[in-house]
Structure 1
Amino acid sequence: RKERDGMSKSKIENAEEKEAVQGQTETVVNGKPFNRMNDFYVKYVFAGRQNKGSALALINSVFALDGAKEIVDFEFKDRELDPDRMGGKGVLLDVTGYSGDGTLVNVELQLRSLKSMDRRTLYYWSLLYGRRLEKGEKYSALNRTVVISILSYNLFKDEVWPEYHSSFAVLNTKDLKHKLTDDLEIHFIELPKWHKGDVEKVYMGVE
C-alpha cells in the first residue's frame, strides 16, 4: 500500500508540474491555445539564423542571473556533432553558436523528464569543448563553453534546490570559492519553479 501511495503522490506531483509549466508558457494564437515550449516553435525562434536577436536575448537573460557579462554577437554553428570515436554516440544540438569573444554556447530544451539529464548535459559539454582544438594547437586556445538546459520538469527536488535557476562550475571543494577554470559553465532552468513574471521577462521581444 505504501508503494501505491508513493506512486500516486509522484503522479500528482508530476501532474502539478506539468500544469504549472502549461500555465506559464501557454498563450493564445488566432483564438487557439499555443504552447511556447513547443519544440518546433522554440527551435524556429532561437535556432533560426534570421532570429539571432532572440537567441542573444535568451542567452543574456540567463547570463544576467549570474551577473555575467552580456554577449553582443552570436554566430550559429553546425548543430550536429559526430561521435569522437568509432562506435561512439553522436548528438544533435538544439541551438549552438559562438559569441563575439569566442565563448561557445549551447541551449537545450528538454520536454520529457530525464533522470540522467545531469550526465547528458555534461556529455554534451565535453563533446563541444573537446572539439575546439585542431591538431597542433595549444591548450590555451580552448575557450569558455556554456550549456544552458531549459527543462519542463524539476531536475532537483525543492528541498535540494528550490530556485528555478542553478549554475555549475568546477570549484575547489576545500572552500567552494576558488574556481579551477571559467571554461566549464552549466545552467539549468527548471520551468515549474518559475513565477509567471520571470517567464514573461525571458519571452520579451520574442513574440
Structure 2
Amino acid sequence: MEEQTPYGQDLARIALRNAVQGARRNRGRAGTRRSRPRPRPGGAQPVPMKVTVAEVADHFDWPVPVETTLVNQWDALAGNLAVGLIAVRFDPGSGVLSLRGESPVWAATGRFRSQQIMRTVNDALGQQVVRELAFLPPVPARPQAPSLPQAFRHPKPHAQTGEQLVFAARRRQAAQAPREPEDLFTAGDDRLSATPGELVRARAMARARAQRGAPS
C-alpha cells in the first residue's frame, strides 16, 4: 500500500515538530547539508509560503526558534481555536504565549478556552512548550473624523413637487404678461355712483395724461 504524502495543516505540523525537535537535538553544532533535496510529487496543491519555509528549515537542519514557529504558524497549530485570536509573541523562557483578541468578546472566549488552546498547540508541537497564555487588550478602533459644523455645510435644496412647479410657472407668466396702467380703470362701484359729468371729466384727464406720457 502506497504511503500518502501529507499536505496542508498536517504537513505544517509535521515540519514544525521536526524543526523544534531538531533544534534541540542539534543545538551547539553546525548542521550538515544533505546531498539531494526531497523530490516533490507532481501536481501537488499550492502550499503557503510559511509552510515552505518550515520545509526548507527542516531539509537543511536549520534550527527554528520556537517563538517564530508559534507566531507564524498560529493558525495551523491552533486550528479553529485561533479564530478571533492573534498570536503576538512567545517567551520561551517563561513559556508565556501572548494573544490578542480581535474584540473583548473574542478575548473573553480565549480566556475561557485557555487550557484547550494550550493542549492543542502543545500536541501539535509534540512537546509541552506553552505553559501559560496572556491576553493583551484589543487594538482600539481608529476614531472617525469629526463632522463639519452646521455653518460650513451647504444646505440641500428641497425637492419641489409637480404642483409646486406648476404654480411657480404660472406666477412667472403672470409677472411677465403685459398689463395696462391701473389708473386708467376705476372700480365698478365708483362708476355706478359717479355722475355722467364726472365720468366725462375722468376720461378727459386720463386721455390728457396718456398724451403727455406719449412720445412727441
Normalising by structure 2, we get a TM-score of 0.24
Give the structure with higher Rg (CA).
Answer: 2
Normalising by structure 1, we get a TM-score of 0.24
**Greater strand share, structure number:** 1
**Greater helix share, structure number:** 2
Q: Which has the higher contact order (CA 8 A, sep 6+)?
A: 1
